[in-house]
């Protein structure tokens, strides 16, 4: 038996090659339909092997999966057991794995799959491997170079003639047609056609595309009309790019692999089925959590949608396996992350996640915000690895708010500006004026240096506590100037900033010190001998996000 594996490379580079929202959504549709449906049908057409004879114990489709299959589309469902009858072991998360009875059928499929991917997903890198299970090693390794997949055209080599125009969507490459008077390449034209197919669900009340996000769309249509671009999505508000990734997924897969001894094709397939079952449970839990959180956050009450007749304030861009990438209004981002995390916690066996949130104006180039969100996710996941073995596994978050037109590395800025080292009579003292990254929920955070009896009210060492405390400050209409004045004083060191804090207006101190509201009796807490940390800058930034979101709005609407 021959196993063929196709791996898609640099998927985000393909999805976000064009900065326009409709092109990103269309690229996701193209990618999802190509790997989930196109490759599946081609494998079956070339005679993929039926794996029913092997006791693989793969799960079937979940009736509560929010990605509802279309009527008459056999392969829309995420159903590993049914796909195994056609020899398909995996087709999600950028991987496609299928078994064939002999080498000739496998080679024919590989050739067909290569032509299909090059034509349907121009610009996407991928590799094709096949493996003879009897031989126990890869017998062939075929890689398609990037230069063969994309027709590169240098802009300065194109003369000023319509037939040699540069694609307006990608900024490079030869335009072959026009779309609404814009010169576009084949790749962008296909993206926009896929987007038109995607948005037709609103007219039919059913999914019109076979990608995972497209199959979820009909259940979310009451949240508003699809945004035509990022500015329409945000209105005059700030935008948040949310990137989430499962924690310790690689370690969990390695443990599954180590538990299975492979000595023939049957044991190999059993191991692969165990890995696929693990990924299936993760992606199903992730879809359910995201779907429930979106409905809880944006659906209307008493059957009347909040956003009826308006543009939807969010858009899913990528939801594959344990990965999530989406954009939304800045003021919804933190609550949405909290609700997704809480829904995951309710599901048995669901993974914890590391989340990065980049908040900025929608005018900032999207590729920059996406890269920033990925950097923040990596920062959050480093905290998760530090907490492993010390506390129970926790979902973690890091975020950054940029009010300018560009942002340098926020982690480098923190190292330069948020660590204060001073000499005291008791020795050297380190004061950190930022907590991030932090756990999302309070059960994994804990207040270091305080007893359990004192842990009343919001826990300011986690996102949940900061969001609740900021809501209390908004409810009591705390003066922004008084609250923001506490932040620059922290740079003077622990002792002087403590005096400044105690000299703040009594009304502000009463709210901040109330354990049922904010619970911040003192500005600093000791995290380790000689080390102090404060939640004030994080709290003020969470408090200010709503104000950023209402920048430019009339005062009455903002209030």
In which band, very low, low, confident or very high, does the pLDDT at 175 lie, cut at 50, 70 and 90? Answer: low
pLDDT at 150 > cutoff 70: no
Residue 373: its pLDDT value, please? 94
Partners of residue 132 on adjacent β-strands:
2, 137
> How confident is residue 387, by pLDDT bands cut at 50, 70 and 90?
confident
178 — pLDDT class (breaks 50, 70, 90)? low
Percent above pLDDT 70 for the chain:
81
Model confidence at 400, in pLDDT bands (50, 70, 90)? Answer: very high
Mean pLDDT of the region 17-32: 89
Once rounded to an integer, what is the mean pLDDT over residues 212-222? 85
Pick from 63-67, 138-142, 171-175 the range whose average pLDDT is largest.
63-67
Average pLDDT of the residues in 202-231: 79
Tally of CB atoms within 10 A around 274: 17
Pairing of strands 88-90, 95-100: antiparallel
Are 34 and 212 within 8 A, CB to CB? no
Higher-pLDDT residue of 349 and 346 is 346
Indicate the helix (H) or strand (E) that contains 128.
strand 125-132
CA 243 – CA 398 distance, rounded (Å): 10
> What's the pLDDT at 326?
94
pLDDT of 406 over the 90 cut: no
Given a cut of 80, is residue 513 above it in pLDDT? yes
Q: Which of 195-204, 337-346, 516-525 has the highest mean pLDDT?
A: 337-346
Query: What is the reported pLDDT for 208?
Result: 78
Burial class (CB in 10 A: 0-12, 13-18, 19+), 284: buried
pLDDT of 147 higher than 60: no
**In the predicted model, is pLDDT for residue 143 greater than 80?**
no
Q: How confident is the model at residue 288 (pLDDT cuts 50, 70, 90)?
A: very high
Rounded to an integer, what distance in angstroms lies between the CA atom of residue 196 and that of residue 210? Answer: 14
Average pLDDT, the chain: 82
Confidence band of 530 (pLDDT split at 50, 70, 90): confident
Q: How does residue 226 score in pLDDT terms, banded at 50, 70 and 90?
A: confident
Phi, psi dihedral angles at 340 (to 5 degrees): -60, -45
User: For residue 280, what pLDDT is reported?
Assistant: 92
Pairing of strands 125-132, 137-144: antiparallel
Residue 410 has pLDDT above 90, yes or no: no
pLDDT, tens digit, for every residue of 72-82? Answer: 888 889 999 99
Say if residue 456's pLDDT is above 70.
Answer: no
Check pLDDT > 50 for residue 305.
Answer: no
Reported in sequence order, the residue ranges of 437-518 that DSSP labels E, i.e. its strands, are 438-439
Please tell me whether residue 142 adopts helix, strand or coil conformation: strand
Alpha helices in 388-525 (DSSP H): 410-417, 463-475, 480-484, 486-489, 494-502, 506-513
Q: Is there a cis peptide before residue 52, judged by omega within 30 degrees of 0?
A: no
Higher pLDDT, 415 or 444: 415
Residue closest to 514 by CA, chosen among 556, 552, 460, 435? 460
pLDDT of residue 146: 34
Name which of 298-302, 471-475, 527-531 the model is least confident about: 298-302
483 phi and psi angles, rounded to 5 deg = -70, -45
What is the pLDDT confidence band of residue 458, given thresholds at 50, 70 and 90? confident
pLDDT for 363-386, tens place per residue?
A: 888 888 999 999 999 999 988 888
pLDDT bucket at 56, cuts 50 / 70 / 90: confident
Q: Is the pLDDT of residue 347 over 60?
A: yes
Give CA–CA dist 104/109, Å, rounded.
9
| pLDDT confidence of residue 428 | 85
pLDDT in the model for residue 248 = 87
Task: Select the highest-mean-pLDDT range: 330-339, 422-431, 501-510.
Answer: 330-339
Count of CB atoms situated within 10 Å of the CB of 397: 27
Q: What is the pLDDT of residue 201?
A: 62
- Pick the more confident residue, 4 or 547: 4
What does the pLDDT read at residue 205? 59
Domains annotated for the chain, with CATH where assigned, are 2-223 (no CATH), 233-408 (3.30.70.270), 409-448+457-537 (no CATH)
Mean per-residue pLDDT, 441-455: 52
Q: Count the Cβ atoms, other than its own, within 10 Å of residue 275.
A: 17
């Amino acid at each position: 038996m021959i196993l063929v594996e196709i791996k898609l490379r640099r998927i985000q580079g393909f999805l976000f090659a064009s900065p326009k929202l409709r092109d990103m959504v269309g690229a996701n549709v193209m990618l999802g339909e190509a790997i989930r449906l196109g490759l599946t049908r081609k494998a079956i057409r070339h005679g993929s092997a039926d794996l029913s004879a092997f006791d693989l114990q793969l799960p079937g489709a979940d009736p509560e999966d929010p990605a509802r299959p279309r009527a008459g589309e056999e392969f829309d469902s995420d159903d590993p057991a049914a796909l195994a009858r056609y020899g398909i072991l995996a087709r999600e998360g950028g991987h496609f794995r299928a078994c064939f009875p002999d080498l000739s059928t496998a080679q024919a499929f590989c050739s067909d799959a290569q032509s299909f991917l090059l034509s349907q997903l121009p610009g996407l890198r991928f590799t094709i491997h096949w493996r003879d299970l009897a031989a126990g090693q890869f017998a062939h390794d075929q890689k398609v170079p990037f230069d063969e997949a994309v027709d590169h055209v240098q802009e300065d080599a194109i003369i000023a003639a319509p037939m040699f125009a540069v694609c307006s969507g990608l900024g490079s490459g030869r335009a072959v047609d026009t779309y609404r008077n814009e010169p576009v390449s084949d790749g962008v034209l296909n993206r926009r056609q896929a987007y038109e197919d995607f948005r037709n669900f609103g007219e039919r009340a059913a999914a019109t595309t076979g990608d995972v996000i497209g199959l979820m769309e009909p259940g979310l249509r009451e949240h508003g009309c699809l945004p035509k671009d990022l500015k329409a999505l945000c209105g005059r508000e700030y935008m948040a790019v949310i990137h989430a990734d499962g924690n310790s997924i690689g370690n969990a897969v390695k443990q599954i692999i180590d538990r299975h001894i492979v000595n023939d094709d049957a044991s190999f397939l059993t191991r692969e089925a165990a890995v696929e079952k693990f990924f299936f449970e993760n992606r199903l839990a992730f879809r359910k959590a995201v779907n429930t959180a979106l409905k809880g956050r944006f659906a209307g009450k008493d059957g009347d949608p909040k956003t009826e007749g308006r543009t939807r304030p969010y858009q899913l861009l990528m939801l594959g396996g344990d990965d999530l990438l989406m954009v939304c209004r800045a003021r919804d981002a933190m609550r949405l992350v909290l609700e997704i995390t809480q829904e995951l916690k309710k599901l048995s066996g669901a993974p914890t996640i590391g989340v990065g949130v980049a908040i900025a104006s929608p005018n900032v180039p999207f590729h920059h915000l996406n890269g920033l969100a990925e950097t923040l996710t990596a920062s959050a996941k480093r905290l998760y690895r530090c907490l492993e073995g010390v506390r129970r596994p926790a979902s973690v978050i890091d975020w950054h708010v940029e009010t300018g037109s560009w942002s340098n590395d926020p982690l480098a800025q923190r190292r330069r500006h948020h660590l204060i080292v001073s000499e005291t009579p008791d020795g050297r003292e380190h004061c950190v004026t930022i907590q991030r990254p932090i756990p999302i929920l309070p059960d994994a955070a804990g207040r270091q240096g305080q007893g359990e009896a004192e842990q009343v009210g919001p826990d300011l060492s986690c996102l949940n506590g900061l969001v609740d405390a900021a809501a209390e400050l908004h409810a009591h209409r705390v003066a922004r100037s008084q609250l923001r004045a506490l932040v620059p004083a922290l740079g003077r060191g622990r002792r002087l900033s403590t005096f400044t804090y105690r000299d703040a207006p009594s009304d502000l101190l009463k709210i901040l010190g109330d354990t049922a509201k904010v619970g911040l009796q003192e500005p600093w807490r000791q995290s380790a001998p000689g080390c102090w940390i404060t939640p004030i800058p994080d709290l003020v930034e969470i408090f200010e996000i709503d104000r950023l979101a209402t920048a430019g709005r009339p005062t009455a609407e903002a209030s």
